[in-house]
């Protein structure tokens, strides 16, 4: 999509207080580790695949990094999503962790799938039996407003952007495979309604991590 392939000068404003010079700097990092979870989206963003790759309009390579080791006291763990521009042109990606409310906005959603994720249940009032909640939780949402260039980050060919996040969901100890997914959505507000279209998606190579139980609090 042409709006993703915008050429920029050597000095580009990325976000308030952050400047990238020459577009060939070290990996760019966004900290979304304390970002609150948005309302659940049913079964989660769609589509996703266990096979690595990307759609035509989102020329990126997605990489998932989940460190092996003890889980956090709340059962979560830090995760990193590394997005590399594998196209021939500079692309702009949403970079704000604050939700957008403009007439035209972009949303980049990052999440992963794994058997390490603990199943969640609710109690059915009629039967009294536990019922599995079929929701895919996300790890990070990055927002970009069309009228605010500071809410986008420009990524040059072969340059990477790392999003540091939390798994948000509770995980269970053990050795598991995990796959990252990304979805870029464009929303446009029309009076009292909002229309959305998927710009592109990407899926990572599967990685394996070994998670251990939370270390006991020292006395």
pLDDT for residue 217: 61
What are the tokens at 39?
């309302």
- 167: closest CA among 100, 28, 60, 71? 71
Half-sphere exposure for 29 (CA within 13 Å, toward CB): 7
* Rounded Cα–Cα distance for residues 182 and 162 (Å): 13
Task: Give 87 or 137, the one with higher predicted confidence.
Answer: 87
Supply the pTM of this predicted model: 0.81
Half-sphere exposure for 57 (CA within 13 Å, toward CB): 13
Per-residue pLDDT tens for 8-28?
A: 332 333 333 333 333 444 568
> Where exactly are the structural domains of the chain?
2-210
pLDDT for residue 47: 55
Residue 78 has pLDDT above 50, yes or no: yes
Q: CB–CB of 65/190 below 8 Å?
A: no
- 67: closest CA among 164, 134, 186? 164
Band of pLDDT at residue 116, cut at 50, 70 and 90: very high
Least confident of 76-85, 92-101, 132-141, 172-181: 132-141
Mean pLDDT of the chain: 83
Q: CB–CB of 83/160 below 8 Å?
A: yes
**3-state SS assignment for residue 210:** strand
Q: What is the enclosing helix (H) or strand (E) of 83?
A: strand 78-85
Residue that is written with structure tokens 């400047």 in the block: 19
Between strands 140-145 and 11-15, the pairing is unpaired
- Which of 22-26, 42-46, 195-199 is the most confident on average? 195-199
Preceding peptide of 213 cis, ω within 30° = no
- 109: closest CA among 181, 214, 18, 54? 181
Residue 32 has pLDDT above 80, yes or no: yes
> Residue 128: which residues within 8 A CB-CB, separation 6 or more?
none
């Amino acid at each position: 999509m042409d709006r993703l392939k915008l050429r920029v000068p050597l000095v580009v404003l990325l976000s308030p207080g952050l400047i990238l010079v020459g577009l060939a700097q070290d990996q760019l990092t966004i900290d979304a580790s304390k970002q609150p979870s948005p309302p659940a989206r049913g079964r989660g963003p769609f589509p996703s695949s266990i096979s690595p790759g990307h759609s035509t309009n989102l020329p990126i390579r997605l990489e998932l990094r989940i460190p092996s080791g003890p889980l956090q006291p709340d059962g979560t763990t830090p995760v990193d999503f590394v997005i590399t521009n594998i196209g021939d042109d500079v692309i702009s990606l949403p970079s704000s962790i604050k939700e957008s409310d403009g007439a035209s906005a972009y949303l980049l959603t990052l999440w992963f799938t794994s058997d390490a994720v603990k199943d969640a249940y609710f109690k059915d009032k009629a039967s009294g039996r536990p019922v599995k909640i079929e929701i895919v939780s996300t790890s990070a949402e990055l927002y970009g407003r069309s009228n605010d260039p500071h809410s986008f980050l420009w990524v040059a060919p072969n340059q990477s952007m790392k999003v540091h996040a939390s798994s948000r969901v509770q995980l269970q100890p053990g050795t598991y495979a995990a796959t990252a997914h990304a979805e870029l959505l464009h929303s446009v507000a029309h009076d009292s309604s909002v229309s959305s279209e998927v710009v592109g998606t990407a899926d990572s190579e599967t990685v394996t991590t070994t998670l251990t139980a939370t270390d006991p609090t020292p006395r």
